[in-house]
Amino acid sequence: MAIKKISGASARGRRGSTDWKRVKSMTDDEIKKSAMIDSDAKELRHDELARFRRSTR
Q: What is the reported pTM?
A: 0.44
Better-predicted residue by pLDDT, 27 or 9 = 27
- pLDDT tens string 22-40: 989 999 999 889 888 988 8
Res 14: pLDDT:
82
Q: What are the structural domain ranges in the chain?
A: 18-57
Q: DSSP for the chain?
A: -------HHHHHT------HHHHHHS-HHHHHHHHHH-GGGPPPPHHHHHT------
Mean pLDDT value across the chain: 88
Better-predicted residue by pLDDT, 22 or 14 = 22
Res 32: pLDDT:
86
